[in-house]
A and B are shown apart, each in its own frame.
Chain A
Amino acid sequence: MSSSPSTEPLTGSRPEPSGEPLLRVVDVVKNFNVGVGTVCRAVDGVSFEIRAGETVGLVGESGCGKSTLARVLTRLTPATSGQVIFEGVDLTGLHGEALRQQRKQLQMIFQDPFASLDPRMTVGDIIAEPLTNFKVVRGKEKDARVQELLRVVGLNPYFNNRYPHEFSGGQRQRIGIARALALNPRLIICDEPVSALDVSIQAQIINLLEDLQAEFNLTYLFIAHDLSVVRHISQRVLVMYLGKIVEIAPSDDLYSTQFHPYTKALLSAVPVPDPRVESQRRLVELTGEIPSPLHPPSGCRFHTRCPIAQVPGICSDEEPALEEKAAGHLAACHFATQVGTALG
């Protein structure tokens, strides 16, 4: 197809992200007040960086705070404390028009392609809405831009007068992507963009996101619970548990060596479409349920379910810091170096 940005499939090594961090997240906290005197610590002191051109994956189980973090980064909800520095500007301190202008650079793709498009707007209007809001282009130029965007995401440009219900899930996700691209953003936060899609359509959307990244020099924060997808698309991966980052690593390193028992458990549970691999699976089983963020456990938050925790002892008393355990590989565990041997 003519608009497909890269003829050459991405093989071997991925393009190296370079330079200054595009986004710096410093000790971000997001609390929700739930009833008198009770605070839900959805995001509890998260720090990381994303460099321009990079894809960073964010994984964790339901309720770990990954979607809340996405909403804080885009200022859809204000942070309780901490800084979100985007291209040198702290978004948490911005208001009104200044914030609105910054948001041009920072777009989002949502999980549910059925709920994230207004059923009463035509596809053309949906994609043009950001253009209209920011008065970027008008009139004929706007129509041309909309058609161009439709073409870029692999849809027929003459579909602009149709309504969302006329499209399948995968096509709707393409519409959502076109809308996110409309303002030429630098960073796109993708919150579970493929988890609602069928397997054969998932691959189409993942390839599209990779092509667009190469063509428009995009940076992604890619949130997902499917670790296979995250490994495929990300250069670095953040693992969250109960509001905190427990491990950060380049994705290939993370899949070969884990310094946090939670990451180890997560990876050991991912189904692999190969009966031989499956028959040799060694599941690191977690006992118990994920604790409530209203009353997080003392010390290391994972100690209640950790197979190697020293309880009572350092794990229930002292919170481990997120420290570098190998080059570019950070983990928050008192026994980081023993994870590999203790859990096989």
Chain B
Amino acid sequence: MTGSMNQPVLEVKGLSTSFFTDDGEVKAVRDVSFDLAAGETLGIVGESGCGKSVTALSILGLVPRPGRVVGGEILFKGRDLLSIDREELRQIRGRDIAMIFQDPLSSLNPVHRIGAQVEEAMRAHDKIASADVRPRGLDLLRQVHVPDASRRVRNYPHQFSGGMRQRVMIAMGLSNRPEILIADEPTTALDVTVQAQILQLLRDLNRDLGTSIILITHNLGVVAGLCSRVVVMYAGEIVEQGTTEQIFDAPQHPYTWALLRSLPRVDADRHERLRSIEGLPPDLIAPPTGCKFNPRCPFRLERCFSEAPELKPVGDGQVAACWVTMKRAYAEMGAASLLDTRAGAASGVRPPLLPLPLAITRGPQPAGPEPLERE
């Protein structure tokens, strides 16, 4: 979280990616823009299908068919990764921008030894002198705390546990000293104690080597522990962006707010009913008109059904795409702030409930089950 925050190493501008399926165009990512400063840790959060992984794959030119980037720019130190040729992109990928995937078992080759796989990326890019490749490979495995590394380089992936495989993936990702490390759900498959170790490892790398990190996850707790800035995605779009403190203390988009309130907390000292978000995320082939969160939003206005809100400043550098924003919702509810994501309550102090004059109930209803709660 240190390093110079001035010049962004990566600028994503108006990125749109679609999948052209038999059922129609799935607009997986729509008009996504964010910057990554040197040495920064950026979290991209959202639920399955919100477009967070596709955003990462788009940056590296790895979108699988029938998907394709349909618009925007991805500037890595001023060069547009979407317009350079494949060979140039291949050079950057793995050398300057590396990626760690969620499932370490399917990302490692089962018939090659661990050592060879860690060395492969270095040999492919000639960034590391060939005489240094082998000792560096060993060194990296030690750095990521693989015990008894000198012996274990001769092992195959199946001889490693899940946590150890994830460490190997991180060692591979770091082998060429990349400027940017993109980690897509790096700890989701792991046990909680191992998860904590991997996160500590990423934190150390960021601090000691100044590697910029994009962490893609659904786990808000993981983001709170690692990232300095957060991008929240819903249905293919960025709905809110700000510093970690802003997002967790004063979220302005109802989706961010609702996500934080729906989480049970291990440090809660009272038992309270969780406040779930009713309904389901929208179908990205035919998303709702207006704001895509409108079918599930407790604060929606007439306008939310017809006009899509754009990201607008809502605080010091914080942006949110909402016609209402939580500031106004709190005011209408008579609540001073987001009391209910603080420690001490599962979902906290209960604000007076909407619907108020502010909310209307007509308009398209979410598909699927009727809302369960009668609130």
Could you tell me if B274 and A203 are in contact, using CB atoms closer than 8 angstroms?
Answer: yes
Contact of A272 among B193, B221, B374 (CB under 8 A): B221
- Which positions 231-261 of chain A face chain B at CB distance < 8 Å? 231-233, 252, 255
Contact of A207 among B224, B268, B276 (CB under 8 A): B276
- A4 with B259, Cβ < 8 A, contacts A11-B273, A281-B225 known: no
Inter-chain contacts of B277 with A (CB < 8 A): 200, 203-204
Could you tell me if B265 and A1 are in contact, using CB atoms closer than 8 angstroms?
Answer: no
Could you tell me if B262 and A273 are in contact, using CB atoms closer than 8 angstroms?
Answer: no
Could you tell me if A271 and B370 are in contact, using CB atoms closer than 8 angstroms?
Answer: no
Could you tell me if B372 and A208 are in contact, using CB atoms closer than 8 angstroms?
Answer: yes
Map CB proximity to A onto B273-295 as digits: 1 under 8 Å, 0 otherwise: 11111101100000000000000
A156 CB-CB contact with B under 8 Å: yes
A168 CB-CB contact with B under 8 Å: yes
Q: Which stretch, A29-37, A45-53, A118-126, A262-270, touches the partner chain B?
A: A262-270
B205 CB-CB contact with A under 8 Å: no
- Which positions 237-282 of chain B face chain A at CB distance < 8 Å? 244-245, 248, 258-260, 262-278, 280-281
Could you tell me if A272 and B224 are in contact, using CB atoms closer than 8 angstroms?
Answer: yes
Q: How far is the CB of B191 from chain A (nearest CB, A)?
A: 4
Contact of A4 among B258, B275, B342, B372 (CB under 8 A): B372
Could you tell me if A232 and B271 are in contact, using CB atoms closer than 8 angstroms?
Answer: yes
Could you tell me if B373 and A207 are in contact, using CB atoms closer than 8 angstroms?
Answer: yes
- A266 with B224, Cβ < 8 A, contacts A198-B47, A200-B258, A275-B244 known: no
A274 to B247, CA, bound (A): 10
Q: How far is the CB of B352 from chain A (nearest CB, A)?
A: 14
Contact of B271 among A14, A155, A265 (CB under 8 A): A14
Contact of B370 among A154, A170, A225 (CB under 8 A): A154
A202 to B218, CA, bound (A): 12
Could you tell me if B248 and A274 are in contact, using CB atoms closer than 8 angstroms?
Answer: yes
- Which positions 110-165 of chain B face chain A at CB distance < 8 Å? 147, 161-164
Identify which of B200, B259, B280 gathers the most chain A CB atoms within 10 Å of its CB: B280
A199 CB-CB contact with B under 8 Å: yes
Contact of A171 among B196, B224, B369 (CB under 8 A): B369
Contact of A228 among B223, B264, B341 (CB under 8 A): B264
Map CB proximity to B onto A261-304 as digits: 1 under 8 Å, 0 otherwise: 00001111111111101100101011011100000000000000
A281 to B272, CA, bound (A): 24
Could you tell me if B374 and A199 are in contact, using CB atoms closer than 8 angstroms?
Answer: no
- A271 with B195, Cβ < 8 A, contacts A207-B276, A228-B265 known: yes
- A274 with B274, Cβ < 8 A, contacts A1-B374, A207-B372, A231-B264 known: no
A334 CB-CB contact with B under 8 Å: no
A13 CB-CB contact with B under 8 Å: yes
Could you tell me if A170 and B280 are in contact, using CB atoms closer than 8 angstroms?
Answer: yes
Could you tell me if B342 and A274 are in contact, using CB atoms closer than 8 angstroms?
Answer: yes
A99 CB-CB contact with B under 8 Å: no
B343 CB-CB contact with A under 8 Å: yes
Could you tell me if B259 and A200 are in contact, using CB atoms closer than 8 angstroms?
Answer: yes
B368 CB-CB contact with A under 8 Å: yes
Could you tell me if A289 and B263 are in contact, using CB atoms closer than 8 angstroms?
Answer: no
A80 to B265, CA, bound (A): 38
Could you tell me if A227 and B259 are in contact, using CB atoms closer than 8 angstroms?
Answer: no
A85 CB-CB contact with B under 8 Å: no
Inter-chain contacts of B297 with A (CB < 8 A): none
Could you tell me if B265 and A61 are in contact, using CB atoms closer than 8 angstroms?
Answer: no
Could you tell me if B267 and A272 are in contact, using CB atoms closer than 8 angstroms?
Answer: yes
Inter-chain contacts of A170 with B (CB < 8 A): 280
Q: How far is the CB of A37 from chain B (nearest CB, A)?
A: 23
A153 to B275, CA, bound (A): 17
Could you tell me if A154 and B369 are in contact, using CB atoms closer than 8 angstroms?
Answer: yes
Could you tell me if B192 and A199 are in contact, using CB atoms closer than 8 angstroms?
Answer: no
A203 to B193, CA, bound (A): 24
A273 to B226, CA, bound (A): 11
A252 to B191, CA, bound (A): 22
Could you tell me if A1 and B372 are in contact, using CB atoms closer than 8 angstroms?
Answer: yes
Q: Looking at chain A, what size class is its interface with the partner chain?
A: 35 or more
Inter-chain contacts of A270 with B (CB < 8 A): 192, 221, 266
Contact of A203 among B196, B267, B275 (CB under 8 A): B275
Inter-chain contacts of B163 with A (CB < 8 A): 289
A281 to B73, CA, bound (A): 39
- A7 with B374, Cβ < 8 A, contacts A232-B264, A266-B192 known: yes
Contact of A274 among B192, B196, B264, B341 (CB under 8 A): B341
Inter-chain contacts of A319 with B (CB < 8 A): none
Could you tell me if B368 and A171 are in contact, using CB atoms closer than 8 angstroms?
Answer: yes
Q: How far is the CB of B254 from chain A (nearest CB, A)?
A: 12
Q: How far is the CB of A262 from chain B (nearest CB, A)?
A: 9
- A266 with B370, Cβ < 8 A, contacts A204-B276, A231-B268, A272-B265 known: no
B337 CB-CB contact with A under 8 Å: no
- Which positions 208-243 of chain B face chain A at CB distance < 8 Å? 218-225
Could you tell me if A228 and B266 are in contact, using CB atoms closer than 8 angstroms?
Answer: yes
| Minimum CB distance partner of B265 in chain A | A228
B371 CB-CB contact with A under 8 Å: yes
- Which positions 193-209 of chain B face chain A at CB distance < 8 Å? 193, 195-197, 199-200
Identify which of B271, B346, B374 gathers the most chain A CB atoms within 10 Å of its CB: B271
- A278 with B197, Cβ < 8 A, contacts A1-B373, A155-B369, A227-B192 known: no
- Which positions 147-177 of chain A face chain B at CB distance < 8 Å? 154-156, 168, 170-171, 174
Identify which of B163, B245, B272, B370 gathers the most chain A CB atoms within 10 Å of its CB: B370
Could you tell me if A62 and B222 are in contact, using CB atoms closer than 8 angstroms?
Answer: no
Contact of A265 among B193, B263, B368, B374 (CB under 8 A): B193
Could you tell me if A168 and B264 are in contact, using CB atoms closer than 8 angstroms?
Answer: no
B48 CB-CB contact with A under 8 Å: yes
Q: How far is the CB of A181 from chain B (nearest CB, A)?
A: 15
Can you give 22 contacting A-B residue pairs, CB < 8 Å? Answer: A10-B271, A199-B47, A199-B218, A199-B262, A199-B263, A203-B264, A227-B192, A229-B264, A231-B264, A232-B346, A266-B192, A271-B195, A273-B221, A273-B248, A274-B248, A275-B224, A275-B245, A275-B248, A277-B343, A281-B225, A283-B200, A289-B161
A201-B280, A207-B273 are known contacts; what are 8 more A-B pairs with Cβ within 8 Å?
A: A10-B272, A200-B47, A207-B372, A210-B273, A211-B372, A232-B268, A232-B271, A271-B225
Q: Which residues of A contact B (CB under 8 A)?
A: 1, 4, 7, 9-14, 61-62, 154-156, 168, 170-171, 174, 198-204, 206-208, 210-211, 225-229, 231-233, 252, 255, 265-275, 277-278, 281, 283, 285-286, 288-290
Query: Which 7 A-B residue pairs are closest in the complex by CB-CB distance?
Result: A271-B221, A232-B264, A203-B276, A269-B196, A200-B277, A203-B262, A278-B225
